[in-house]
Amino acid sequence: MEKRLKVIEKDDVVIRFSGDSGDGMQLTGTLFSTTSALFGNDISTFPDYPSEIRAPQGTVGGVSGFQVHIGHKQVNTPGDYADVLVAMNPAAVRANARYLAKGSTIIYDSDSFTEKQILRAGYKSDPFIEDKLDGMHLIAAPITTLVKEALKNSELDPKSILRTKNMFALGMVYWLFDSKLKYTEDFIEDKFGKKPLMAEANSKVLRAGYYYAETIQAIAPSYSVSPANIEKGIYRNINGNQATAWGLLAAAEKAGLKLFIGSYPITPATGILEEMALRKDLGAKSLQAEDEIAGICSAIGASFAGSLAVTSTSGPGFALKSEALNLAVMTELPLVVINVQRGGPSTGLPTKTEQADLWQALYGRNGESPVVVMAAGTPSDCFYYAFRAAKIALEYMTPVVLLTDSYLANGSEPWRIPSMSDMPSIKVPWAEKTDMEYLPYDRDPVKHSRKWAVPGMEGLEHRVGGLEKTVRGSVSYTPENHEYMVKIRDEKVEAVAADVPDLKVIGTKTGDLLVIGWGSSHGHVVTAVTELQEEGYNVSAVNFNYIRPLPKNTAQVFDGFKKLVVCELNLGQFANYLRIKHQKYTYHQYNKVQGLPFTAREIKDYCIKMLEEK
Amino acid sequence: MAETTTHENHYVAKDFKSDQEVRWCPGCGDHGILASLQKALAELDIPKEKYVFVSGIGCSSRLPYYMNTYGFHGIHGRAAPIATGIKIANPDLMVWMMTGDGDALAIGGNHFIHAIRRNIDIKIILFNNEIYGLTKGQYSPTSKKGLVTKTSPYGTIEESFKIGELTIGASGRFFARTVDYNLQLSNEVYKQAALFNGTAMVEVIQNCVIFNDGAHDLITNKETRDDNTLVLRHGEPMIFGKNRDKGLILENLKLKVIKFGENGYTEKDVLVHDAHEPNPGIHYRLAGMHLPDYPVSLGVIRSIKDHTYDEAMRDQHVKVQEASKIKSVDELLRSGATWKK
């Protein structure tokens, strides 16, 4: 039996795995996250990686990181600062030095701290002294040497042997957290089932790391985070892209429709198309189109033919789709467009996160072009908002843009699996053959949605298209008709407000300050405000998931506060949108555009500053 | 492919006319295309509600409004992906795509080659008038080099696309060519395109009376057309000419025009058209023939059976569904690593 000399009981701990892209850090982080989740911790993860597949080795630009926050209580963010850093080389230390908590533990591969590697990382001398990290718990492990030693009798080639280094590091972290190795061992067996040498080597190195950590325990504290007390049910880990895809599949099943996705690969949205391509078992039809435009146009075609049609993309692809999105606006066909936002403009920061496509979604098209705009708040939330986006698109016969982002797409969290019987029904407004002529643009008096007749339905033949039409579907350039159609399309999108849930205030309904977030700001805003409340500040928070139309109680909520501050990862797009929609308030802004999510700390600091300015 | 014999409909051409006023210029070749299409469909006996006419932008792309079927007037260049989405969503439909030389080959060039490459079961009718009509007379990707237009006042300096070569180069399985005013040949070609299972690409040589009148004069006027065109029919010899005294032979790997009775050539030397030959070599040459050395080929030049995209997708779905344990979203959500709290 192992003896633990010093165990730190904590409510939550943040661990960051960091190394060269290609060192297997994403896998290591994912395995640790799942193991923690299976143990019962709440978790939130944040992969942070370069856009190059194999960036120059040993450089700060090539560092790939995976941060996971595990908690005994509810965890809303991947954490601001790491308590434990696993650094496979000096560049990983350099890249992460400023994201470390006080007194954190750094486990590093001392074999990689050669003079050459230290210089490559941009250090002149001792990295830990240069970055003032010498007060941390430093655990120098000669991982390369130990891995070679552990596998000295293996028949594997030297390159493959070195590729198991990540498992050694993972083994050490497992010891540090007193975790079980079983899930990872099962995973290794499953993954390398056909390569027994690789399976054996990875398992062996994983255990070698674990026992090595035990042997050297005297120099480090180990952590204990008890299982979280969360709602009963069946749970799984899910990331935002997977949740988005599954939410759409759920909506198709609920609506009794076939799902069609037409997309073009683009970071960080590709995972949605990949997931759909797998789901032929559920009848999902996926087309990897020749370009972004073909992606959305094929989806519009599929929608015309009666499918729940989807296209997924990121900012640059969304720009290419804008003309076709207007075709869906004009033809009033149901369509879900997912924009997994990344840093822009142009190619920008393909693998980093940002919320700067809000205006593009709201306004980035010619003519008066109303669409419903929504934004998911957490990785698992993507399931519900994708479902809701599809429900609104179908019931109102309108395109819906769902904004997620790189942070949500790649981040994961435990998710209490819903039952399909608990999901709301979706009522598709099918046209039926009657004695009356079918009028393609005849509308429901309340929703203003038109009836959906699809090819194959006898007697309902009609034409739609991008030209302005009369209610009968005939082309019309009549001034009054155009104005009427422009207004009714707008009113239709505004009518969706009837189905938008009220904003929920986190905290009291009146107070000194309301912190406003939207979409993926959720976790950081909630964490910051909850902590401020615990510290006695009179602060509340709201997070918007419906952007157009806004929730009906928006003004009522705003009325309760002396000051409003909008936190978003752009230069103030939502704040300015609110200035148009609700003009009587003064909106303060807290913005960040670094390709990174907020930290709860910086939001807190800003709020405290605002509260002190009387 | 759409079913062809579900019930007897006994349509006449008029059944396919919509109530919309046809707005093409008087004398435009498009009128002929519309009429022969409507007649061809009436003879096919496919339920009217199964037709979808999809188009992009341009004069050609107004055609769906004039068909009393389901129709989708899309945006410039994008008819192919719209048609593709419709066909994938419901393979039981018969999807026609109406496009022009600008729509399909300039702004929609990418979609055009990919639709053909995939061999999805759609019928493409490309109205080739070698000009931009709706924007009032600019050169197109098929305009002959040197053509003087509003955007090429000193003559174009670009090589033009040859539609047949482009189609076959993109691994096209069906390529046919007809002429707008030739209702008989068009009827034949449209019906063969309709019954072909896969991407059927039909180039219609079409006259724009306003901006490029007479561009195809040598192959359309009564005096010269029989000497300047060769109508290809599967199994028939490649004979042409006003007096049917000319033919095509293959010599030194090249096509050659011969005249019967000259240099000892007779009818017996002439090639027999095999539209079903998978090797594209001869079809490529036939499709690419142009004046003055060769007649322009008309009719169904290439028609080979192959797997279609929509069939392959259906087959893959059946296979995956048979093998998968996941039959519902509830089962999907509970698959893989889960835990109970």
Could you state, in order of their start, the residue ranges of all structural domains in chain A? 7-224, 237-422, 511-612
Tell me if chain B has a CB within 8 Å of the CB of A287: yes
Alpha helices in A496-562 (DSSP H): 522-534, 554-559
Is pLDDT above 50 for A129? yes
Question: Nearest to residue A401, comparing CAs of A474, A523, A299?
Answer: A299
From A234, A246, A297, residue closest to B338, measured CB to CB:
A234
Neighbours of A54 (CB within 10 A): 10
Class of domain A511-612: alpha beta
Tokens describing residue A126: 């001792």
Nearest chain A residue to B73 by CA: give it.
A465
Question: Nearest to residue A304, comparing CAs of A431, A403, A389?
Answer: A431
Percent of chain B with pLDDT over 90: 95
Residue A218 has a pLDDT of: 47
Whether the complex's predicted ipTM is more than 0.85 is answered with yes
With contact defined as beta carbons under 8 Å apart, do A305 and B54 qualify? no
Percent of chain A with pLDDT over 90: 88
DSSP letters, A383-414, are: HHHHHHHHHHHHHHT-EEEEEEEHHHHH-EEE
Tell me if chain B has a CB within 8 Å of the CB of A253: yes
Interface of B with A in 88-107 (CB under 8 A): 88-90, 92-93
Q: Render pLDDT for A480-501 as a digit per residue (tens, 0 to 9).
A: 999 999 999 999 999 999 999 9
Alpha helices in A113-193 (DSSP H): 115-120, 127-130, 143-150, 158-162, 165-176, 182-191
- Spatial distance between the Cα atoms of A99 and A294, rounded to a whole number of angstroms: 42
From B85, B328, B341, residue closest to A298, measured CB to CB:
B85
Please report residues of A whose CB lies closer than 8 A to that of B56.
none
Is pLDDT above 80 for B6? no
What fold is seen in the domain A7-224? Pyruvate-ferredoxin Oxidoreductase; domain 3 (3.40.920)
- Average pLDDT on A607-612 reads 96
| Cβ distance of A40 and B339 shorter than 8 Å | yes
A222 Rama sector, left if φ>0, alpha if ψ -120 to 50, beta otherwise: beta
Q: Render pLDDT for A216-262 as a digit per residue (tens, 0 to 9).
A: 874 567 788 888 888 889 999 999 999 999 999 999 999 999 999 99
* Domain assignment present for B334: no
Residue A590 has a pLDDT of: 98
Q: What is the mean pLDDT of chain B?
A: 95
Tell me if chain A has a CB within 8 Å of the CB of B109: no
Is pLDDT above 90 for B340? no
Contacts of A523 (CB under 8 A, 6+ apart): A44, A76, A77, A377, A378
Provide the shortest C-alpha distance from residue A553 to chain B (in Å).
34
* Domain assignment present for B111: yes
| Cβ distance of B78 and A466 shorter than 8 Å | no
From B18, B70, B84, residue closest to A298, measured CB to CB:
B84
Q: Render pLDDT for B317-332 as a digit per residue (tens, 0 to 9).
A: 999 999 999 999 999 9
Q: By three-state DSSP, how is residue A197 classified? A: helix
Contacts of A152 (CB under 8 A, 6+ apart): none
Q: By three-state DSSP, how is residue B84 classified? A: helix
| Cβ distance of A462 and B114 shorter than 8 Å | no
pTM exceeds 0.90: yes
From B20, B313, B332, residue closest to A249, measured CB to CB:
B332
Residue A4 has a pLDDT of: 62
Is pLDDT above 70 for B25? yes
According to DSSP, the residues that pair with A216 across neighbouring strands are none
Helix-helix angle A25-39:A182-191, to 10 degrees: 130
The H or E element that residue B174 is part of is: strand B174-179
| Cβ distance of A297 and B75 shorter than 8 Å | yes
Confidence of residue B8 (pLDDT cuts 50, 70, 90): low
Please report residues of B whose CB lies closer than 8 A to that of A282.
326-329, 332
Count, residues in chain A: 614
* Domain assignment present for B185: yes
- Spatial distance between the Cα atoms of B46 and A397, rounded to a whole number of angstroms: 30
* Domain assignment present for B253: no
Q: Which amino acid is at B302?
A: R
Please report residues of B whose CB lies closer than 8 A to that of A324.
75, 78
Size of interface A-B (CB pairs under 8 A): 204
Please report residues of A whose CB lies closer than 8 A to that of B341.
40, 230-235, 416
Interface of A with B in 191-250 (CB under 8 A): 230-237, 246, 249-250
Residue B1 has a pLDDT of: 45
Tell me if chain B has a CB within 8 Å of the CB of A280: yes
Nearest chain A residue to B312 by CA: give it.
A285
Alpha helices in A261-397 (DSSP H): 270-278, 292-304, 315-320, 322-331, 358-363, 381-396
> DSSP code of A282?
G
Interface of B with A in 7-46 (CB under 8 A): 18, 20
Residue A5 has a pLDDT of: 61
| Cβ distance of A290 and B114 shorter than 8 Å | yes
Confidence of residue B10 (pLDDT cuts 50, 70, 90): confident
- Average pLDDT on A377-397 reads 98
With contact defined as beta carbons under 8 Å apart, do B101 and B144 qualify? no
β-pairing, A63-71 vs A42-48, is: antiparallel
Q: Render pLDDT for A140-187 as a digit per residue (tens, 0 to 9).
A: 999 999 999 999 999 999 999 999 999 999 999 999 998 999 999 999
With contact defined as beta carbons under 8 Å apart, do B32 and B60 qualify? no
The angle formed by the CA atoms of residues B176, B180 and B185, to the nearest 5 degrees, is: 55
Residue A148 half-sphere exposure, CB side, CA atoms within 13 Å? 7
Is pLDDT above 60 for A11? yes
SS3 content of chain B, % helix, strand, coil (to 5): 35, 20, 45
Q: Give the total number of structural domains in chain B.
A: 1
Tell me if chain A has a CB within 8 Å of the CB of B337: yes
Note if the bond before A345 is cis, omega within 30 degrees. yes
Note if the bond before B292 is cis, omega within 30 degrees. yes
Tell me if chain A has a CB within 8 Å of the CB of B82: yes
Candidates B50, B70, B117: best to mutate against A (most CBs of A within 10 A) is B70
CATH number for position B194: 3.40.50.970
Is pLDDT above 50 for B201? yes
- Average pLDDT on B273-278 reads 98
Residue holding tokens 């309340």?
Answer: A446
Instruction: Give me the domain span that covers residue B200.
Output: 13-215+307-314
Q: By three-state DSSP, how is residue A581 classified? A: helix
Provide the shortest C-alpha distance from residue B128 to chain A (in Å).
22
Q: Render pLDDT for A283-327 as a digit per residue (tens, 0 to 9).
A: 999 999 999 999 999 999 999 999 999 999 999 999 999 999 999
| Cβ distance of B73 and A305 shorter than 8 Å | no
With contact defined as beta carbons under 8 Å apart, do A386 and A418 qualify? no
Residue A220 has a pLDDT of: 63
Homologous superfamily of domain range A237-422:
Thiamin diphosphate (ThDP)-binding fold, Pyr/PP domains (3.40.50.970)
Tokens describing residue A526: 């909630």
Tell me if chain B has a CB within 8 Å of the CB of A258: yes
| Cβ distance of A297 and B85 shorter than 8 Å | yes
Determine the longest span between alpha carbons in chain A, in angstroms: 87
Judge residue A437's burial from the number of C-beta atoms within 10 Å of its C-beta, 0-12 exposed, 13-18 middle, 19 or more buried. exposed
Please report residues of A whose CB lies closer than 8 A to that of B111.
290-291, 293-294, 297
| Cβ distance of B85 and A262 shorter than 8 Å | yes
Contacts of A4 (CB under 8 A, 6+ apart): A178, A217, A222
- Spatial distance between the Cα atoms of A432 and A440, rounded to a whole number of angstroms: 12
| Cβ distance of B49 and A309 shorter than 8 Å | no
* Domain assignment present for B208: yes
Helix-helix angle A143-150:A165-176, to 10 degrees: 100
Q: Render pLDDT for A331-353 as a digit per residue (tens, 0 to 9).
A: 999 999 999 999 999 999 999 99
Higher pLDDT, A518 or A11: A518
Provide the shortest C-alpha distance from residue A65 to chain B (in Å).
24
| Cβ distance of B81 and A285 shorter than 8 Å | no
- Distance in angstroms between the alpha carbons of the first and the last residue of chain B: 51
Confidence of residue A53 (pLDDT cuts 50, 70, 90): confident
With contact defined as beta carbons under 8 Å apart, do A172 and A158 qualify? no
